[in-house]
Amino acid sequence: MKIHKYDTVIVGAGGAGMRAAIEATKRSRTAVLTKLYPTRSHTGAAQGGMAAALANVEEDNWEWHTFDTVKGGDYLVDQDAAEILAKEAIDSVLDLEKMGLPFNRTPNGTIDQRRFGGHSRNHGEAPVRRSCYAADRTGHMILQTLYQNCVKEGVEFFNEFYVLDQLITETDGIKRSAGVVAYELATGEIHIFQAKSVIYASGGCGKFFKVTSNAHTLTGDGQAAVYRRGIPLEDMEFFQFHPTGIWRMGILLTEGARGEGGILRNKDGERFMEKYAPVMKDLASRDVVSRSIYTEIREGRGCGPEGDHVYLDLTHLPPEQLDAKLPDITEFARTYLGIEPYTDPIPIQPTAHYAMGGIPTNVQGEVLADNTTVVPGLYAAGEVACVSVHGANRLGTNSLLDINVFGKRAGIAAAEYAQSADFVELPENPESFVAEQIERLRTSTGNERVAQLRRELQETMDANVMVFRTEQTIKTAVEKIAELRERYKNVAIQDKGKRFNTDLLEAIELGNLLDLAEVMAVSALARKESRGGHYREDYPNRDDVNFMRHTMAYREVGADGTETVRLDYKPVVQTRYQPMERKY
């Protein structure tokens, strides 16, 4: 075991982590621990753009952007945070441009902008061009640009270090972050990182679904690590299903395709979104479009012999436009489906995409131990966190924005805190939890296999807590997850070695997914209303009287060791927008 001491430790090297690292490295001795090489993060898979009311191509302002974000989130958004997001969006985009990001340009040489779902002019009048983009590779360009600037700033990376535990020490009745425990993939060695500040920027947890746009590595490691240590998770029932995943594979096809004029059609060739969202049509918010697609499928208007998908039609767009604006997604259609998007529509279905919920933070990125109490020295930003700027449904292009605005804020706040704070004493035997976990998995003689349990988890999540939910389906999921958690105790791995043991890490990742799936299902069961990405067929309306509040899920361990999820609630911050009926 090795012990390291840093002022600031950042967990994760995607967009949020590297944006934080650029700030933190300038102000404090910083280490970035990442389970992948920095440019491998799933930020790179984001395609369509980053919203900011630059008004480069038409009238726009950050107040309209704030409104769209609040409305898009079905009024569960904390409006103070949304205002910061929309206001600081402009500088965030300009920061990236100055760092070198190659945005597409207008004829005047300014950053070009295009339409995106849910982004509107003057509070819903018509779609507005707000998304700053680099073809359909905006996430890739952000990730590369941030890594380039990390190289420039000399950011210190620990690549292929898996953070498996959060260290918390209670002093003077206050829980404080003391550091993290990491597992080095190359050697199997355990490392303790004592740090004054820790920032979680480890991304989402979409791998508990089967059809998902998420990478294999998005297993909620950060959320699970803090949740096990008594930190709540906020709004985990809200998960976004992106309307246009490649049929059966789930690979993302950007909303920018519809921003460029692409149209969704059912088996009769009908542009069905006109029925569901007369103004915004194909550019309604993602939850609305995904539900519309499944409604078409359920009512027998789906395409193909099994009627289980619809089409994304780009055939009316000039090939030059597709080549210039959507080169990657058209190539995906060719590579994975053998389809030529110039001439043939692309079969799509909604795909599990983004966790709106996560580790609760305030607008400085400080993690909350309950509705109000900050955990000194602990921060989170990006998909792992819940500020909450996305509420019940995130707007497209607001996540690349989120990682930049709140990554930067968390990086500055954490480093400034580290400048004034002392190290918190490590708990006794800080490595014990991780060491025991690894030892148990390495020596287990159980008969359960990781892949089998993960498949069963993904099947039940897709079947029961996806776009449409009912009390019965969610209960089925809760029971199945409980069964899988029980069977997980008997999981065994084949690779017993120390060197690059990805077999072991997949087992640990599955444990994280099971913990988070339980939180999600339990939170969803209790929310007896429909709001944003959480749609209950048995409660089809939004219920502001009883549920205009954030869910806060805590892990409780009984005297006999049984674990349960305890739910509490937190008020939503409302400033200028009163809840209205949500129409597109």
Partner 1 sequence: MATPVLDKDAAGAPGPSSAESPYITVTFRVRRFNPEVSAEATWEDFQFEIDPKERVLDGLHKIKWDLDGTLTFRRSCAHGICGSDAMRINGKNRLACKTLIKDINPEKPITIEPIKGLTVLKDLVVDMEPFFQAYRDVMPFLITKDTNEPTRERLQSAEDRERFDDTTKCILCAACTTSCPVFWNDGQYFGPAAIVNAHRFIFDSRDEAGEQRLEILNDRDGVWRCRTTFNCTDACPRGIEVTKAIAEVKRALITRRY
Q: What is the CA radius of gyration of the chain?
A: 23
Tell me the CB-side half-sphere exposure of residue 353, using CA atoms within 13 A.
29
Give the residue with the Cβ less far from partner 1, 76 or 155: 155
Least distance to partner 1, CB of residue 479, Å: 25
What does residue 6 show for φ and ψ, rounded to 5 degrees?
Answer: -135, 155
- Length of the chain as a residue count: 584
CA distances from 5 to 110, 230, 473 (A): 44, 24, 47
CA distances from 539 to 467, 471, 567, 578 (A): 14, 9, 19, 22
Give the residue with the Cβ less far from partner 1, 110 or 371: 110
Query: Would you tell me the crossing angle of helices 15-27 and 138-153 to the nearest 10 degrees?
Result: 20
Give the residue with the Cβ less far from partner 1, 110 or 574: 110
* Four-point Cα dihedral 142, 148, 152, 153, nearest 10: 50
Q: Are 487 and 451 in contact (CB under 8 A)?
A: no
Integer Cα distance of 250 and 213 in angstroms: 5
Q: Are 41 and 400 in contact (CB under 8 A)?
A: no
Least distance to partner 1, CB of residue 207, Å: 11
Least distance to partner 1, CB of residue 370, Å: 34
**Which residues, 6 or more positions from 328, have their beta carbon under 8 angstroms from its beta carbon?**
47, 135, 136, 137
Give the residue with the Cβ less far from partner 1, 269 or 278: 269
Give the residue with the Cβ less far from partner 1, 294 or 332: 332
Quickly tell me which residue has 């690059």 as its tokens.
500
Of 56, 84, 58, residue with least CA distance to 69: 84
Q: End-to-end CA distance of the chain, in Å? A: 56
Give the residue with the Cβ less far from partner 1, 471 or 503: 503
Give the residue with the Cβ less far from partner 1, 297 or 337: 337
DSSP single-letter state for residue 336: I
State the catalytic residues.
Answer: 286
Give the residue with the Cβ less far from partner 1, 197 or 397: 397
DSSP single-letter state for residue 201: -
DSSP string, 378-431: EEE-STTEE-SSSTTSPPTTHHHHHHHHHHHHHHHHHHHHHHHPPPPPPPSSTT
Least distance to partner 1, CB of residue 25, Å: 14
